[in-house]
Amino acid sequence: MKDHLIEIGFYEEKANGKLHPYWTWIDTANDVAPIAVAEGKGFGGVGCNLTLREIVSPAWVSHFEKCGCKNIIQIVEELCSLNEPLTGLRIKDAWFSQSKSSSTNCGDKSLTVEISCNPINKQHLDIIIDEKLGGDKSRVLELFQDEGILTELNSNSKSGDWFHFEPKTYDGIYLIKVGGGFATYYQERGRTLTDKWFKELLDAATYCFKNEGYIDK
């Protein structure tokens, strides 16, 4: 899986004795068509990226419903109403900072998962950036001059956050202390991807937040 594709929905449908999968991702590298969708596998698989107009059109409601991420439509509509440039990163931030109930099908049962996020629908990291850095994300490295920030971030982190600062089972970006240094990696469905290790916290934070668009590469 490419680093810029963030999976937000998946469903497998059984037809003719075979499983037919459906996926939905946020594509943080494509601001023109920031939602990627696919179904099927092998030579029978098809996929594409959706523009903002296509995301909110009725044509894709069924796909999003199957994947359990229909509320991505409302998120995009609300972001569009702000009359500000809409990027894949902004959609990702909105998706992971929301308080949401998402329904997904598991065989013939319906499972509802309630995710409660921190106050004012922001990740704890962004709250600290607001409080200490005047909301300027480009100054995020000022927070990572010593290890105390990791303890502060962990004390109020939530499962719905995109950034995690201690080992957990949740999807997202991790920046943790390990092995006499610091590791940063992307985790998806229990799999660790793009693992990088640094001796110094500031170096690890620089790599992490450059890749996430907080600071210029």
Domain boundary among 73, 94, 115: 115
Q: What is the mean pLDDT of residues 158-175?
A: 81
The answer to whether residue 214 scores a pLDDT higher than 70 is yes
3-state per-residue secondary structure call for 178-211? ECCEEEEEEEECCEEEEEEEECCHHHHHHHHHHH
Number of domains in the chain: 2
Q: Let me know whether 36 and 93 are in one domain.
A: yes
Q: What is the mean pLDDT of residues 110-131?
A: 56
Q: Let me know whether 89 and 29 are in one domain.
A: yes
Q: Is 107 exposed, middle or buried (0-12, 13-18, 19+ CB in 10 A)?
A: exposed
Q: What is the mean pLDDT of residues 180-201?
A: 82
Q: Let me know whether 32 and 63 are in one domain.
A: yes
Indicate whether 203 belongs to any domain.
yes
The answer to whether residue 139 scores a pLDDT higher than 70 is yes
pLDDT grade, residue 196 (50/70/90)?
confident
Q: What is the pLDDT of residue 121?
A: 37
The answer to whether residue 7 scores a pLDDT higher than 80 is yes
Q: Let me know whether 45 and 124 are in one domain.
A: no
Q: Let me know whether 151 and 189 are in one domain.
A: yes
Percent of the chain with pLDDT strictly greater than 90: 25
Q: Let me know whether 133 and 107 are in one domain.
A: no
Q: State the residue range of the domain holding 86.
A: 5-115
**Do residues 55 and 25 lie in contact, with contact meaning Cβ atoms separated by under 8 Å?**
no
Q: What is the pLDDT of residue 162?
A: 80
Find tokens 């500031």 and name the residue: 202
The answer to whether residue 34 scores a pLDDT higher than 80 is yes
Q: What is the pLDDT of residue 17?
A: 78
Indicate whether 152 belongs to any domain.
yes
Rg, C-alpha atoms of the chain? 18
Taking the complete model, does pTM exceed 0.75, yes or no?
A: no
What mean pLDDT is reported for the chain? 80
The answer to whether residue 203 scores a pLDDT higher than 70 is yes
Q: Let me know whether 136 and 177 are in one domain.
A: yes
Position with higher pLDDT, 168 vs 29: 29
Indicate whether 181 belongs to any domain.
yes
How is residue 6 written in tokens?
């963030």
Long-range CB pairs of 115-119, under 8 A, 24+ apart, other chains included: 115/159, 115/160, 116/158, 116/160, 117/158, 117/160, 117/161, 118/156, 118/158, 118/161
Q: What is the pLDDT of residue 175?
A: 92
Position with higher pLDDT, 39 vs 187: 39
pLDDT grade, residue 109 (50/70/90)?
very low
Q: Let me know whether 17 and 54 are in one domain.
A: yes
pLDDT digits (tens, 9 = 90+) for 39-81: 988 777 888 999 988 898 888 988 998 888 888 998 998 888 8
Q: Let me know whether 52 and 93 are in one domain.
A: yes
